[in-house]
Homo-oligomer: A and B are copies of this chain.
Amino acid sequence: MQQQVLQDPILSISNLMPQNMTQPSPSHQALIDQGIINAPDSAKGRLLQAAATLFKEKGYERTTVRDLGKAVGIQSGSLFHHYPNKEAILRAVMEETILLNTELMKAALAQSDKPADKVLALIQCELESVLGETGAAMTVLVYEWRSLKDESQQYILKLRGIYEDLWISALSEAKEAGCVVIDPFVLRRLLTGALSWTVNWYRQEGDMTIDQLAQMTLSLAIKPV
């Protein structure tokens, strides 16, 4: 059964997406093929993309189901054909983002060797997540925590744990190698704040690339050996 395509070409949320959108990465495509996350051009996928954008810009509470409906080009009531309630949409946004970015990080780690390279790969990866195409959803993941029900919080927290484990083991390796001085857990938490906050000031149009920013951040986190 093929998903029907949403009909209104004017209000359709495809207008909210970058025109020259890149192809999904191999990791991304794999998750789509396994049915774990929705394809970006499916009805649900576009709803989630629009929701992420609105939740980031206005906040979850200030975004109404009427806003969501308008962004996708359907009536607000029709949203509840896809998701049982508004919170489930927020949860789905977070779930898909954390799953996707965990896979992206694993892929990035697989291409690195030395401890310092791994840390750089993680920093680059997280910056790309926060500042790139999935940035809206990542911001929602970080800042709209409180709006989830307890049960959803625990579920997302579990997924986040897997993601954080990748960080902790990389930083621990770096510490054993002598290029990190402070406790890996504290360092990770300081980095979490520093990296997620970039969404509030970094602009692609500026004269600093994401890679340059990643290098600067790395220079704070590790000392050359």
The reply to whether B182 and A146 form a contact with Cβ atoms under 8 Å apart is no
Q: Which among A59, A143, A195, A219 has the highest number of chain B CB atoms within 10 Å?
A: A59
| CB of A97, distance to nearest CB on chain B (Å) | 18
Residues of B within 8 A of A194 (CB): 190-191, 193-194, 197
Assuming the A-B contacts A216-B182, A220-B220, are A59 and B147 also in contact, with contact meaning beta carbons closer than 8 angstroms in the complex? yes
Quick check: is A158 within 8 A (CB to CB) of the other chain? no
Assuming the A-B contacts A194-B191, A198-B189, A201-B189, are A146 and B62 also in contact, with contact meaning beta carbons closer than 8 angstroms in the complex? yes
Quick check: is A186 within 8 A (CB to CB) of the other chain? yes
Q: Which of B182, B198, B200, B213 touches A220 (beta carbons < 8 Å)?
A: B182
Residues of chain A at interface, number, CB under 8 A: 31
CA distance A190 to B193 in the complex (A): 8
The reply to whether B220 and A190 form a contact with Cβ atoms under 8 Å apart is yes
Assuming the A-B contacts A59-B61, A182-B220, A219-B181, are A197 and B201 also in contact, with contact meaning beta carbons closer than 8 angstroms in the complex? no
Quick check: is A172 within 8 A (CB to CB) of the other chain? no
Residues of B within 8 A of A200 (CB): 193
Q: Which of B58, B59, B62, B197 touches A193 (beta carbons < 8 Å)?
A: B197
Q: Which of B146, B183, B197, B208 touches A192 (beta carbons < 8 Å)?
A: B197
| CB of A58, distance to nearest CB on chain B (Å) | 7
B interface footprint on A48-63 (CB within 8 Å = 1, 0 otherwise): 0000000000110110
The reply to whether A216 and B146 form a contact with Cβ atoms under 8 Å apart is no
Quick check: is A196 within 8 A (CB to CB) of the other chain? yes
CA distance A220 to B217 in the complex (A): 10
Q: Which residue of B lies closest to A189 (CB)?
A: B201
The reply to whether B146 and A59 form a contact with Cβ atoms under 8 Å apart is yes
B interface footprint on A110-121 (CB within 8 Å = 1, 0 otherwise): 000000000000
Quick check: is A221 within 8 A (CB to CB) of the other chain? yes
Residues of B within 8 A of A183 (CB): 216
The reply to whether A195 and B198 form a contact with Cβ atoms under 8 Å apart is no
Q: Which of A172-225 contact B (CB under 8 A)?
A: 181-183, 186-187, 189-198, 200-201, 208, 213, 216-217, 219-221
Task: Pick 5 A–B contacts, CB within 8 A, sort by A.
Answer: A62-B146, A190-B194, A190-B220, A193-B197, A197-B197
